[in-house]
Chains A and B, each alone.
Chain A
Amino acid sequence: MSEGGLWTVRLTRRREGRWVAGVCNGLAAALGVQVEALRAVVVLLAIGSLPAVGLLYALAWVFLPPESEEDAAAADGRGVAAEPGARFTINGRPADLLDTVAVLAIVSGAVLLIGQFTAWLPAQVVAPALLATAGAGVAWGWGGRAGAGGAAGRRERLRPLFVAVGVSLVLLGGIATMAALGDLNSIGRSAAGAAVLVAGAVLLLGPWMARLARNLTDERRQRIRSEERAEVAAHLHDGVLQTLALIQKRAGDDRAVRSLARRQERELRSWLYGARGLGGVPQEIYGQADTATVATLLRRELDDLEDHYAVRFDAVLVGDAPLDDTGRALVAAGREAALNAARHAGVDTVDVYLEVEADKISLYVRDRGRGFDPSAVPPDRRGLADSVSARLRRHGGAADIRSAPGEGAEIELSMPRGIVRMEEKPR
């Protein structure tokens, strides 16, 4: 005997080898009897009272959950016959012996009783009465265990539906029974009886349903709150605490500490402020290559440089445009300019400004570092001239480098738009 005990078999409709809906098949598996024997009993009972068995079968069809894939796989692994270690559940929780006995007693009792009734009562009374009973069962069975345990979210959402279905079944069944019992001239009495029934149901169920609703909202609110707290905790743990640990470990390495702190700051900022928190880039498209825009690509490139050089890019991004070849060329040139500043300027922060206008995109990279004489750059250091100026010229743009020794540097890149947009082809 494995975990769960003897009476923990899952009651489902088993599709494998079914005749109609798999009710008998599933029941046989749950009870640990041969399906053929069970079917024989059911057929015999049906000969005695077809409407009763038919109705019970239909109810079982509706309310027994179909067997899930994993169950089927597990059943395949160990054979179709009863397995004491499997799980019998009512409403998602393991049932004890008493529950199971009760279910069996109710089923057989109902069949016997209905068999008796059908002998001397017209079917139009039995059916509604049975309907009402089933409704009460549904309401109590599915609705009554509110908050009893950590039931699955889907079931929780379905609970009001079950309660509503159950209550309306009760009312419908009650009214129909009254109507069928009374003669034509005592319809008034039937109506009064129905009213009494309704009042009784309201009295019986009202306070309980109110409490149920309150329980539900409380539970939901609490769950949302704890989920939020868990998310914050997870984020703080994953990001901030890890970074703090790394910083303590590498406290002597000035550059590493600075770069770690900056990276964490960036991440926390994007998490806290979300949209536009990254200096103009909506967070939800930041990480997606296929929806990249000029601004997101630039921000990514700058983040990448920040990770490798102990420098901070204060980027101000105004407007945005979908990424095309010229946009890519502009950002690539901008990365080269930013890299140049990070390497040679000797400063902690570099200002980057991107503005997308209707007819052009401008990108400025400015530092207050040591500066240089643009005309005196040795020919072996052609990074700026080649990567920046030439690349832009190929796409119809222009680069302007303003710098003097000791006065920092600003590289201005601009690229016309419009012509480009007309050539744009859907890829």
Chain B
Amino acid sequence: MSSERASATPRVFVVDDHPLVRSGVRSELEGRVDVVGTAGDVEEGVAGIAATRPDVVLVDVHMPGGGGAELIKRVLATADAAQDQPPPRFLALSVSDAAEDVISVIRAGARGYLTKTVSGAELAEAIGRVAAGDAVFSPRLAGFVLDAFAGSMTLPSDPELDQLTARERDVLRLIARGYAYKEVARRLNLSVKTVETHVSSVLRKLQLSSRHELTRWATERRLV
């Protein structure tokens, strides 16, 4: 892989405790992105990310030594201390369907969540999107968010953070129905960029909101 291509294609680091997944992801992404390193646990991952400085980190949710959320927190903490370069962006990749797993990595700072059944092309596209600073929502994540933000009986403490706008809801619904960003844009007569903006704003709300329902929803599923 030449150095001029590396500047155009995202540099990716893969953290997953299963060697089979690491090599599988690496071979699927071959030629689409630049995989600069892999690690099998949180310790190794933190060290490897500090050494290789990737654009995007693909992180598994369940891992020995604290899991994906722990890795994200530690990398972001060291990046804050260093401050000489923007921290990498994180994309969670997991077989888990459980809401607590998904929401905990998102709230730790991941820019999106995909299940491991995703195809190589879709994964590469999602990595590009995350590298550009956008969010990546799988249908299931969109469903979780709609579930968490459902109902508007109580007065939200921060309307800007604690509620989804009608447009954001529309976008999420279409994603939950299996539409790609491009198809969502066509369906709602928006540009893809606008769809990405909506999704990023939903992600921000999901990460920052202290919404009553979200909290209750989270506690019901044993997460904070």
Q: Which residues of A contact B (CB under 8 A)?
A: 269, 273, 275-280, 314, 316-319, 351, 353, 355, 357-358, 364, 366, 368, 410
| B167 CB to nearest chain A CB (Å) | 17
Given A316-B176, A319-B150, A353-B177: A280 and B143 interface contact (C-beta under 8 Å)? yes
Given A276-B98, A276-B99, A276-B221: A318 and B177 interface contact (C-beta under 8 Å)? no
Tell me the complex Cα distance, A319–B142, Å: 13
Q: Does B97 contact A (CB under 8 A)?
A: yes
* 5 shortest interchain CB distances as A-B pairs: A351-B178, A316-B143, A273-B98, A353-B177, A364-B177
Q: Say yes or no: A316 contacts B150, CB within 8 Å.
A: no
Which residues from chain B contact A353 at a C-beta distance below 8 Å? Answer: 139, 143, 173, 176-178
Q: Say yes or no: B97 contacts A279, CB within 8 Å.
A: yes
Closest to B220 in A: A275
Tell me the complex Cα distance, A368–B96, Å: 24
Q: Does B146 contact A (CB under 8 A)?
A: yes
| A358 CB to nearest chain B CB (Å) | 8
Q: Which residues of B contact A (CB under 8 A)?
A: 96-99, 139-140, 142-143, 146-147, 150-151, 173, 176-179, 221
| B92 CB to nearest chain A CB (Å) | 15
Q: Say yes or no: B97 contacts A318, CB within 8 Å.
A: no
Which one, A273, A358, A366, contacts B96 given CB within 8 A?
A273
Q: Say yes or no: A410 contacts B99, CB within 8 Å.
A: no
Tell me the complex Cα distance, A350–B139, Å: 12
Given A273-B98, A276-B221: A314 and B147 interface contact (C-beta under 8 Å)? no
Tell me the complex Cα distance, A316–B178, Å: 9
Tell me the complex Cα distance, A328–B193, Å: 40
Closest to B143 in A: A316
The number of residue pairs between A and B whose CB atoms lie closer than 8 Å in the complex comes to 54
Which residues from chain A contact B176 at a C-beta distance below 8 Å? Answer: 316, 318, 353, 355
- Cross-chain pairs A/B with CB under 8 angstroms, 15 sampled: A273-B96, A276-B98, A276-B99, A277-B98, A279-B97, A280-B147, A314-B139, A318-B147, A318-B150, A353-B143, A353-B176, A353-B177, A353-B178, A357-B150, A364-B177
Given A276-B98, A277-B97, A318-B150: A366 and B143 interface contact (C-beta under 8 Å)? no
Which one, A273, A351, A357, A358, contacts B97 given CB within 8 A?
A273
Which residues from chain A contact B139 at a C-beta distance below 8 Å? Answer: 314, 316, 351, 353
Q: Say yes or no: A355 contacts B173, CB within 8 Å.
A: yes
Known: A318-B176, A355-B176. 17 other contacts (CB 8 A): A273-B98, A277-B97, A314-B178, A317-B143, A318-B143, A318-B150, A319-B147, A319-B150, A351-B139, A353-B139, A353-B176, A355-B173, A358-B151, A364-B177, A366-B177, A366-B179, A368-B178
Tell me the complex Cα distance, A316–B173, Å: 10
| A397 CB to nearest chain B CB (Å) | 18
Closest to A312 in B: B117
Closest to A353 in B: B177
Given A269-B97, A273-B98, A276-B221: A366 and B150 interface contact (C-beta under 8 Å)? no
Q: Say yes or no: A279 contacts B140, CB within 8 Å.
A: yes
Which residues from chain B contact A318 at a C-beta distance below 8 Å? Answer: 143, 146-147, 150, 176
| B21 CB to nearest chain A CB (Å) | 15
Tell me the complex Cα distance, A256–B25, Å: 26
Which residues from chain B contact A368 at a C-beta distance below 8 Å? Answer: 178
Which residues from chain B contact A316 at a C-beta distance below 8 Å? Answer: 139-140, 142-143, 176-177
Which residues from chain B contact A364 at a C-beta distance below 8 Å? Answer: 177
Tell me the complex Cα distance, A280–B178, Å: 16
Tell me the complex Cα distance, A5–B215, Å: 66
Tell me the complex Cα distance, A358–B146, Å: 14
Which residues from chain A contact B98 at a C-beta distance below 8 Å? Answer: 273, 276-277
Closest to A269 in B: B97
| A280 CB to nearest chain B CB (Å) | 7
Tell me the complex Cα distance, A319–B145, Å: 11
| B36 CB to nearest chain A CB (Å) | 31
Which residues from chain B contact A273 at a C-beta distance below 8 Å? Answer: 96-98
Which one, B96, B147, B177, contacts A351 given CB within 8 A?
B177
Tell me the complex Cα distance, A275–B221, Å: 9
